[in-house]
Structure 1
């Protein structure tokens, strides 16, 4: 059982797409939001793999499947799905790049 779920917070996503991809002019496949700080990064099927890079940089273990709105949580450390207490809000239409 994942012990990192206690770090889950209700967050406001910081960007309307992968923060790093938007800054670098890259594209993404799906988005993940960090449930500790609200960072939005791209999934591991995307070229940048920025959500995983954010985990390695910060140690923030739990992400939410953000786009399309999936509502599931994943712990990078325990490599398992986790229950989320809520779903992160959508701040507006998210640009699609796949």
Structure 2
């Protein structure tokens, strides 16, 4: 969340935490938490935007595997994606 820093999963994740937070909190602008990505997205208008640099941390550690820390995600995580 670009407004409060909440970190939520994207819409391809099973629970879609990012979008749920955006709607519940009234914070439409989200930004990536991936290393090297700097996009902003407005959930209300469904458009991408440029935005200011945000306070760190701006991504998970570069050496942390995706979709999460090793051993912290279910073995069938790919099947669970939307």
Same-fold status (TM-score > 0.5): yes
TM-score, normalization by structure 2: 0.67
Q: Which of the pair is proportionally richer in strand?
A: 1
Q: Relative CO higher for 1 or 2, CA cutoff 8 Å, sep ≥ 6?
A: 1
Question: Please, which runs of 5 or more residues in structure 1 have no aligned partner?
Answer: 1-33
Q: Provide the rounded CA distance (Å) in 1 between the counterparts of 2:60 and 2:32.
A: 16
Cα deviation per residue 1:61-80 (whole Å; 9 max; x = unaligned)?
A: 10001124310000011110
Which 4+ runs in 1 deviate beyond 6 A?
A: none
What is the aligned-residue RMSD (CA, Å)?
2.1
Tell me which structure has the larger Cα radius of gyration: 2
In structure 2, relative to structure 1, the CA distance for the partners of 1:53 and 1:89 (3 Å cut) is: same
Question: Please, which runs of 5 or more residues in structure 2 have no aligned partner?
Answer: 68-76, 78-82
TM-score, normalization by structure 1: 0.57
Number of aligned residue pairs: give it.
Answer: 65
Which of 3, 6, 9 is residue 42 of structure 1 equivalent to?
9
For 2:66, the equivalent position in structure 1 comes to 96
